[in-house]
Amino acid sequence: MSQRIYQALVSGNTKLAVVGLGYVGLPVAIEFSKYVQVIGFDTDTRHINAYRNGVDLTSSVGEAIQSATIEFTSDPAKLREAQFVIVAVPTPTTEDRSPDFTALMQASQTVGENLAPGAIVVFESTVYPGITEELCAPIIEQASGLKCGTQWKIGYSPERINPGDPVHTFSTIRKIVSGMDGESAEEIQKVYDIAVKAGTHLVSSIRTAEAVKVMENSQRDVNIAFMNECSKICDRGRINAHEVFTAMKTKWNALDFEPGLVGGHCIGEDSYYLLEYAKKIGCGTPILSHGRHTNEVMASYVAHRAVKEMLAVRKDLKRAKVLVWGITFKENCSDIRNSKVADLIAQLRTYQIDPIVTDEWADPETVREMYSIELTPFEKLPPADCIIVAVGHREYQSIAMEQLLKMYKNDLQNDEKILLDIKSIYPLEALTASGLRFWRL
Ligand SMILES: NC(=O)c1ccc[n+]([C@@H]2O[C@H](COP(=O)([O-])OP(=O)(O)OC[C@H]3O[C@@H](n4cnc5c(N)ncnc54)[C@H](O)[C@@H]3O)[C@@H](O)[C@H]2O)c1
């Protein structure tokens, strides 16, 4: 086998291009740039300008961006200099929860129009089986006039990074790789092995690699849904769910899942891709469909619970100060896409509650644009009737109980001070001793 592109990359005779520099593409580009020449291409000039100025808009690579040698560009013609192209553009869902391939198709067109003969194109965007070869490859073929398989090759390598997690990163997570044939598979594996310290796992086909991604995330979705269901059962049965889950984990084969709001760009979306694929091939999905629905309605369940707690101590919903801590889809991360906290806030508003939302991780302008929500800086939050800790950011975890109690209105008894600790960031003993009226998922 030739390993022609691998050899050219490590000897500096060709470049690697990353198309789409967001939460996935930027870390990929940064990591590869430690070993080979990298072109970072994005259609969003705001991103490109920020990266050129050493500003990491995704908060995922930190200061590494300041010393990175990446050639950041919005000029698609630059892609002609690369023999290895990685595509990491968004694959969200539409409003009716169908897969949205718009960015993927546009990126395929751009890559095709600027494809170097002999190149390998690897898609990292999450898709369901068949999309890389049946949707992307024909677009690239047509735009380039080059035949796939003989004049260029294609592969797929799903991204598994975990935003906000400094341990599980691009180079420390084992990478699934695949190619359209033996030669491309070997070359793709060799190239990823340059930057992925945890190593690669080669699968036999692109469709297999595509299936791995949507199935591993759907597996999480279903398991979290079950924990949400158990949490509701415990709540109705007046059993402490958290204590049950902690005790369950003492068994050797327990699964480590927690209840919660499932949002974001991955777990909350990828199940819809698998559902679409199963529908296309006529396969039933009772477990996945029900699990997804269970998770989809959790925000309204929590909102309803907050209202119940407030009415129980005769709060005036219209006048009550309800603070929501956190709006990002998960802790220690700036990503607000598909935030279920936004759904929670929308639900609270249907009860005429006007929640005051804070999140130092999120960009206020993006929150305003995406959800029409104004963020309030943490230090400017008014004294509360009810605090909903929706996201377990590390800053919230470090707030002592004494300090937390001071964040409520002065004239309230402790049992009128309501706390909804959705992520269970406060220990049960501390909550019980505080006298707060609290509820956890
Ligand atoms: N964010 C995650 O944690 C994560 C984890 C695993 C997999 N994924 C998958 O990886 C893919 C990328 O996700 P992301 O979170 O990085 O998205 P993102 O929105 O953060 O970044 C995508 C980038 O692509 C750019 N872009 C859009 N259209 C483009 C085009 N036609 N040409 C060039 N650039 C274009 C955007 O400007 C943006 O900078 C998605 O398929 C996602 O499902 C994401």
Its domain, for residue 230, covers: 205-296
Mutational pocket test of ligand 1: of 42, 274, 333, 337, the residue with most ligand atoms within 8 Å of the beta carbon? 42
Euclidean distance between CA atoms 100 and 91, whole angstroms: 6
Mutational pocket test of ligand 1: of 55, 159, 338, the residue with most ligand atoms within 8 Å of the beta carbon? 159
Residue 1 has pLDDT above 60, yes or no: no
Euclidean distance between CA atoms 384 and 408, whole angstroms: 4
Euclidean distance between CA atoms 156 and 158, whole angstroms: 6
Structural domains in the chain (count)? 3
The answer to whether 175 and 155 have CB atoms below 8 angstroms apart is no
Q: Is 362 in the pocket of ligand 1 (CB under 6 A)?
A: no
- Say yes or no: 163 and 14 in one domain: yes
Mean pLDDT value of segment 234-258: 94
**Burial level of 372, CB count in 10 A (0-12/13-18/19+)?**
exposed
Q: Is 353 in the pocket of ligand 1 (CB under 6 A)?
A: no
Tell me, in angstroms, the distance from the centre of ligand 1 to residue 214's CA: 16
Q: Is 213 in the pocket of ligand 1 (CB under 6 A)?
A: no
Mean pLDDT value of segment 52-73: 91
| Residue 143: strand, helix, or coil | helix
Euclidean distance between CA atoms 59 and 55, whole angstroms: 9
- Domain's final residue, options 177, 204, 231: 204
Euclidean distance between CA atoms 65 and 79, whole angstroms: 21
The CATH number for 61's domain is 3.40.50.720
- Say yes or no: 62 and 115 in one domain: yes
What's at 44, amino acid-wise? D
- Domain's final residue, options 272, 296, 320: 296
Closest-CA residue to 337 (of 163, 175, 109, 179):
163
- Say yes or no: 152 and 275 in one domain: no
Mutational pocket test of ligand 1: of 19, 23, 26, the residue with most ligand atoms within 8 Å of the beta carbon? 23
Residue 151 is encoded by which pair of tokens?
A: 């004049």
- Say yes or no: 164 and 140 in one domain: yes
- Say yes or no: 233 and 375 in one domain: no
What's at 258, amino acid-wise? E
- Say yes or no: 10 and 134 in one domain: yes
Atom of ligand 1 nearest to the CA of 25: 16
The CATH number for 241's domain is 1.10.1040
Q: Is 25 in the pocket of ligand 1 (CB under 6 A)?
A: yes
Closest-CA residue to 184 (of 212, 159, 158, 151):
151
- Say yes or no: 184 and 218 in one domain: no
Residue 142 is encoded by which pair of tokens?
A: 């047509």
| Residue 238: strand, helix, or coil | coil
- Say yes or no: 200 and 217 in one domain: no
Q: Output the pTM of the full model.
A: 0.93
- Say yes or no: 237 and 115 in one domain: no
For residue 99, the 8-state DSSP code is: B
| Catalytic choice (266, 283, 333, 386) | 266
- Say yes or no: 199 and 59 in one domain: yes
Tell me, in angstroms, the distance from the centre of ligand 1 to residue 126's CA: 9
Task: Respond yes or no: is residue 266 known to be catalytic.
Answer: yes
pLDDT tens by residue, 27-57: 999 999 999 999 999 999 999 999 999 999 8
- Domain's final residue, options 204, 220, 247: 204
What would you measure as the largest C-alpha separation in the chain, in angstroms? 77
Q: Is 43 in the pocket of ligand 1 (CB under 6 A)?
A: yes
How high is the pLDDT of residue 105? 98
pLDDT tens by residue, 132-175: 999 999 999 999 999 999 999 999 999 999 877 888 999 999 99
Q: Is 19 in the pocket of ligand 1 (CB under 6 A)?
A: yes
pLDDT tens by residue, 180-218: 999 999 999 999 999 999 999 999 999 999 999 999 999
- Say yes or no: 309 and 273 in one domain: no
- Say yes or no: 426 and 389 in one domain: yes
pLDDT bucket at 265, cuts 50 / 70 / 90 = confident
| Residue 39: strand, helix, or coil | strand
